[in-house]
Structure 1
Amino acid sequence: MAMVSEPTHDVTAAPIEKGSDVGEVSQWRLMARRFKQSKLAVTGGLILLVMYAIALLAPFLSPNDPTAVDSNLKNAAPSKLTWDGGLAICGQTQTLNEENFTFEYKVDCNKASKVEWFGKGYEYKILGLIPSDRHLITAKEPTKLMLWGGDIDGRDVFSRTLAGSQVSLTIGLFGVSVATILAAVIGTISGYFGGLVDNLLQRAIEIILSVPTLPLWATMAAVLPRDMTVTKRYFLITIILSLVAWAGLARQVRGKVMAYSSADYVAAARAAGSGHSRIILTHMVPNSVSHLVVVTMLAIPGTIIAETSLSFLGIGMLPPAVSWGVLLQDAQKIQVVTQYPWMLIPAVAVILAVTCYQLLGDGVRDAVDPYG
């Protein structure tokens, strides 16, 4: 009896989708998936994106020139809004209290001025390039829209807070970026080569870490000339903040590199004839990237607080520069805080930014260990 063989089918393996194998791409996807599970971290990241977008569009969103002084609005309370066939601002009259020599304001909504959307105001440059005088919201002259009141010189606190975000938010990014680059280079060199190089670098790091951070920052910032331009001072303050921040991160990178240097794939790379630069750039640095990202995220709020503290003490950013620390100089007296509480609004902005960065850093830290 003849045996009838069943037809055979050519079974071929399904093509592997690019990035689906266990590798760099799939691991980053796994990190992103785990990060999305942290609602607080995602919320903090979204709030930070909104804050940076506001900082980028600060001149357009500001109804008044943040540097314009108006003696008729010294310590003016926030404008009272009303509805008069459209959104309007109640008028207010300034009077001097001769008993305590403070200005008082009487609100009169019968003399309201309508608010204009996309109206004309002070001139500025979009992204520092394109001249414009259009603003999201303005008020008809001579009335000024003071959403968060005025300071001791009659300047708009709302507009100054938006302008200050451009300095306070970016100086943290730039300062930590410089510190991260220094830490990655020095920490990798120290951990990879070891020996005398490692001993010299670690002793230098220990000396830096033994000095109290804030007094060291204050000393370096205090020696800067007070008559230098805002741009130069911004650049130098960024360098000062980064010169200390790199030391602790460099020690952490050194520990990671020392652990990686004894791995089998590094030994195989050496046996294959790879040079030091190729091993460092191909194996050491990429494996430390996730740790660097986490530490960088957690270091940015510390840098923001450092700049705010230095500016608050009068040795960081100085007028005419505008930062949150500079704005808080006007709130040093308890009398100002009790009578004009809106002067503390820049402190709320600092707290919000720092808290969001900490939530974001915690979420990234949990996401980089997706198998934990």
Structure 2
Amino acid sequence: MEKERKVFGISWNVFLLGLVSFLNDMSSEMIAPIVPAYLTEVLKVGKLAGGSIMGLIESASSLFKVVFGYFSDRFRKRKVFVFTGYALSTVAKGALAFTQGWLDFLALRLLDRTGKGIRTAPRDALIAESSNGKTGKSFGFHRMMDTLGAVAGPLIAVLLLGLLSYLPKEVLYRRIFLISAVPGIISLIIIALFVKDRGGEVKKKIAGVSSLRSRSLQLFLAVVALGTLGRYSYAFTLWKAEELGYTVLQGSAFYALFNLIYALSAYPIGVYSDRVSKKALIGAGFLLSALASICFAFAQSLPLLVVAFILYGLHMAVMDTVPRAYMAELAGEGEKGTVIGAYHTVVGVFAFPASLIAGYLWNTYSLTYSFLFASAMAFLAFILLQFD
């Protein structure tokens, strides 16, 4: 196998995939802070419907992840799935500028998430195959880059909201949707010209999905499913800020803070996970989720709201980094895409009822109950993980 160059101690392939994720998340997060407001202010979608739509969007990619992870294992080709997935998402985000109702909005957001479903498991498998055994470090770097893009995106959104504030809100939102496609196009050029497949270098042939038959892995996925019921859409955190009287512009700043904490934490957490028990760190992630939700539930002032966003960022830094590395290590060489895809599928499937329940509790009682339910699910997952 050809020796691969390294950048900052990270393989060139992982570095490039990190850069791609930086650009793509910049694109996605440019529109993330305005999507909740666009739904409620422009498309006139209600609370329960809004929560359901956001949850469905979060879950839409899930069923595709294990399927395309398996296909990328079978054909030993990751790059084509990665490129196709990012291309679909780029087109879908730009086309949001032309939506006229919640149905076409939902269709495009589902297309975006379908693109994520196609690319996620093959990309994560490619990262694992390019990691030289340091899966935590590689995934930590990737999540850091991904989230730095998520920091830049809302800040660009804040800038655009300020510069284009003279426009009617509907026109302003549509302009931002169009601009968001530009970083995505650049990321496609990087994938096409520079990212290299590594799956063909794995000699072992697939002989079924033996890792998924492991009882410990199945129990772990069951705990993840339960914990995911407390993993509401980010939109609920912005709706909480709005409930406390903050504007969309100020909400974007809160969202940028969350992503900054995530970005600063993901890489050191990933590196640390290579030295200690990844399972124990995942348990800590569930505890952070429970604490963040409690803070959101009772936040009535700026300090507690800021603490909630910080804890939320730390929680996501752990839960978006360590489980991927953990699953990559549990998987056999011939089935990394399948096993990682199974994890993403479980998370995606249960993300929909999580936001549906949160939306129902918000509509029937208040946002406080939405966050308290989420906290209870995360804490229960922490407890059960100790017996896995």
User: Which structure shows the higher strand fraction?
Assistant: 1
TM (norm. structure 1) is: 0.27
Considering Cα pairs closer than 8 Å and 6+ residues apart, tell me whether 1 or 2 has the greater RCO.
2
User: Which structure shows the higher helix fraction?
Assistant: 2
Which is greater in Rg?
1
